[in-house]
Amino acid sequence: MRNQAIRLKEFGSIKNLKLENISIPEIESNEVLVKVYCAGISFADILIVEGKYQDAPELPFVPGLEVSGIIEKVGKEVQGLKEGDEVVGLSAWGAFAEYVKLDSKFVVRKSENMPFEVAASMTINYGTSYYALVERARIREGQKILILGASGGIGLSAIEISKAFNCNVTAVASSKEKLETCEKYGADNLILNNSNNLKESLKEQQAGKFDLIYDTIGGQDTIDSLSFVEWEGQILIMGFASGDIASVPVNKILLKGCNLIGIFWGPFARGNTNFNLQSIKEVCNLYEKGLLQISDPELYLINDFKEAMSKIKNRESIGKLCFYTEAFSKS
């Protein structure tokens, strides 16, 4: 059987990725082999390829962290899963291929009414946001939440989960088109920041102060956001999409009495598999109840990987992007 995969042999650039035929992986007793239908693309994938991520694999390797598809083989120690199951899962690496092996601890059956492309687009974004907002921040009804970089996949997931808990959400994005998407996902207030000066944008539009700030951008935005957090509020550091690591003035944290909380979901998910699986199941339940829309991602054939990944790198995407395979197109 053929197994087309996107492979990296040298860190540094998306240009270093090549589409190759590789062998179908052999599974261990605790693993399942999944025929890939769709694979979600995240900003973390770009950072990994560029060698800028906190957790780097050995070369050569196949990128890709989140996947949906159908189980082809089951290891002898696997329980609760069988051949033919339609599943969603997380991989350390390897999802950008036609076949991937997954530790069964990171695989769940997808909701019956959830399309494969939606399933592949929700694990990292919605899993991360659920963990950050529900487990770490303990959000409560009525809280005011500011989301920076709100039009990206993880920002949109944060909007939806916050609204599912009846919070008031203010979304910040760099274009009117992106803000329109945020509004469709349920944002109550919209802040245009097309000048790369968050502090001025929030002042001009009289944003006020917030119980919680969800920061996917990093850099100067992290520093600016400290002026807009309430006393004893919380700032969740979700990532560094700006490419810059902020030198945070700790005196402002002291004067605000606020909590600065780092969110690195990958190690948590690997170390807390039961909670990780429960989080994904809770997201699926919210989807089934109609509290999350998890809109269809923008789809790219796996052969068009450079176009898709460049769009994310250049911050031209709105919402989630996914690869799909020939198996998906025939389903």
Q: What is 4-115+296-329's CATH superfamily?
A: Medium-chain alcohol dehydrogenases, catalytic domain (3.90.180.10)
DSSP state of 61: B
How far from the centroid of its chain's Cα atoms is residue 309's Cα? 14
Alpha carbon 108 to its chain centroid, in Å, reads 17
Region(s) of the chain under CATH 3.90.180.10: 4-115+296-329
CB 229 within 8 A of CB 235: yes
pLDDT score of 240? 66
Based on DSSP, count helices (H) and strands (E) in the chain, helices before strands.
11, 15
Distance between CA atoms of residues 112 and 102, nearest Å: 21
**In the chain, which segments carry CATH 3.40.50.720?**
128-265
For residue 27, the one-letter residue type is: I
CB contact set of 10 (below 8 Å; sequence gap of 6+):
16, 59
Q: Of 18-32, 42-56, 146-160, where does mean pLDDT reach its minimum?
A: 42-56
Report the pLDDT value the prediction gives residue 153, as an integer from 0 to 100.
Answer: 82
Q: Which residue has the tokens 């690997």?
A: 270
Residue 62 banded pLDDT, cuts 50, 70, 90: very high
64-90: average pLDDT: 94
Q: What average pLDDT is seen over the chain?
A: 87
**Mind listing the pLDDT tens digit for each residue in 304-322?**
989 999 998 887 887 789 9
Concatenating the DSSP letter of every residue in 69-117 gives EEEEEE-TT--S--TT-EEEEE-SS--SBSEEEEEGGGEEEPPTTS-HH
Q: Rank 76-90, 109-123, 284-298 by mean pLDDT and report only the highest.
A: 76-90
Query: What CATH code is assigned to 128-265?
Result: 3.40.50.720
Contact assessment for residue 242 and residue 219, using Cβ atoms and an 8 Å cutoff: yes
Which percentage of the chain shows pLDDT scores above 70? 94
Judge whether residue 236 has pLDDT over 60. Answer: yes
User: Model confidence over 159-202: pLDDT tens digits?
Assistant: 999 999 999 999 999 899 999 999 999 999 999 887 778 878 88
DSSP state string for 281-316: HHHHHHHHTTS---PPPEEEEGGGHHHHHHHHHTT-
Short-list 214, 148, 206, CA closest to 178: 148
Cα torsion 147, 296, 108, 53: sign: negative
pLDDT tens across 114-129, in order? 899 999 988 888 888 9
DSSP 25: P
Mean pLDDT check: name the lowest of 62-66, 104-108, 267-271: 267-271
Band (208; pLDDT cuts 50, 70, 90): confident
The mean pLDDT of 238-249, rounded to a whole number, is 67
